[in-house]
């Protein structure tokens, strides 16, 4: 019961680049194109050179769309998933990058009211999620401007300790 956030983040600094909030019953595999389409509409898809993601996104439609937009597809395949995966080495290689987003979710969950909502109805929850991602990016930018970029992921250190 609830909602689902699909998030696109940068692999190096973990900034949230795009997001989309839907009801929880919307499948992961149909989230990729609408989330990236919003970037395309603003001419920001050129910043997405390659895309990593789990095998929920690995559908023919998604892969064709990515190929059409010249985005390198590094999504986990069905063969790279599960206990008896056929290609464990490539799975490990992809996981090394893909798993960084789990760290972002962990950081957001620890520092912000992420993965739970204090309001009701989809528009209000979308606003709340937009504020969370805005706050995360703003702290990152402010950390850079304040000359303490090493603290950009630790909001507690950034907000509660003076350099």
Partner 1 sequence: MATAVEIPQMTQVLATLEKNQVHFSPTLIELVWEDVEKLKASLPASYDATARFLALARPIVEACLLQAGYFPPESPVGRPPFPAAAVMLLHVLSTQEACKSYRFLPDYVNSHPTWLRALQLQKAPSDSTLSKFRTKMGEDFFQRFFNALRNLLVAFGLVTEKQAMIIDTAPVAASANLARANGSAKLDEEKLKQLFETLDLSPADPLFPPESGHSKSSPYPRAAKQRFLLLEKLGGFLSRNSALLYLQRHPEVNQLVGFPEGQVPTQPTFTYFEKHNPALAEWVQPLVGQLVAFFDAQGDYDEDDPLPFFFRHTERRESPG
- Rounded to the nearest whole angstrom, what is the least distance from the CB of residue 66 to partner 1 in the complex? 10
DSSP codes of every residue in 84-109:
T-S-HHHHHHHHHHHTHHHHHHHHHH
- Residue listed under structure tokens 């991602």: 133
Return the number of the residue (71 or 79) whose C-beta is nearest partner 1: 71
By the rule CB under 8 A, 58 interacts with partner 1 = no
By the rule CB under 8 A, 10 interacts with partner 1 = yes
What is the distance between the alpha carbons of residues 151 and 163, in angstroms, rounded to a whole number?
A: 10
- Rounded to the nearest whole angstrom, what is the least distance from the CB of residue 40 to partner 1 in the complex? 13
- Rounded to the nearest whole angstrom, what is the least distance from the CB of residue 69 to partner 1 in the complex? 12
Spatial CB neighbours of 64, under 8 Å, sequence gap ≥ 6: none
By the rule CB under 8 A, 15 interacts with partner 1 = yes
Neighbours of 86 (CB within 10 A): 12
- Rounded to the nearest whole angstrom, what is the least distance from the CB of residue 18 to partner 1 in the complex? 8
Ranges within 111-140 binding partner 1 (CB under 8 A): 111-120, 123-135, 137-140
Tell me the β-bridge partners of 158: none
By the rule CB under 8 A, 24 interacts with partner 1 = yes
Return the number of the residue (84 or 154) whose C-beta is nearest partner 1: 154
Residue 94's nearest CA partner among 49, 156, 155, 51 is: 51
By the rule CB under 8 A, 107 interacts with partner 1 = no
Q: Are 137 and 15 in contact (CB under 8 A)?
A: yes
- Rounded to the nearest whole angstrom, what is the least distance from the CB of residue 90 to partner 1 in the complex? 16
- Residue listed under structure tokens 């919003």: 38
Return the number of the residue (84 or 147) whose C-beta is nearest partner 1: 147
């Amino acid at each position: 019961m609830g909602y689902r956030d699909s998030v696109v983040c940068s692999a190096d600094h973990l900034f949230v680049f795009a997001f989309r909030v839907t009801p929880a019953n919307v499948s992961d595999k149909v989230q990729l194109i609408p989330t990236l389409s919003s970037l395309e509409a603003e001419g920001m898809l050129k910043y997405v050179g390659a895309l990593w993601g789990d095998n929920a996104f690995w559908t023919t439609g998604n892969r064709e769309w990515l190929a059409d937009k010249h985005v390198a597809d590094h999504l986990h395949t069905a063969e790279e998933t599960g206990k008896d995966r056929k290609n464990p080495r490539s799975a490990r290689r992809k996981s090394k990058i893909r798993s960084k987003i789990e760290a972002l979710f962990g950081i957001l969950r620890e520092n912000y009211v992420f993965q739970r909502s204090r309001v009701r109805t989809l528009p209000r929850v979308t606003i709340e999620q937009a504020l969370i991602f805005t706050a995360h990016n703003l702290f990152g930018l402010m950390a850079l401007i304040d000359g303490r970029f090493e603290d950009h992921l630790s909001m507690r250190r950034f907000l509660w300790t003076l350099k």
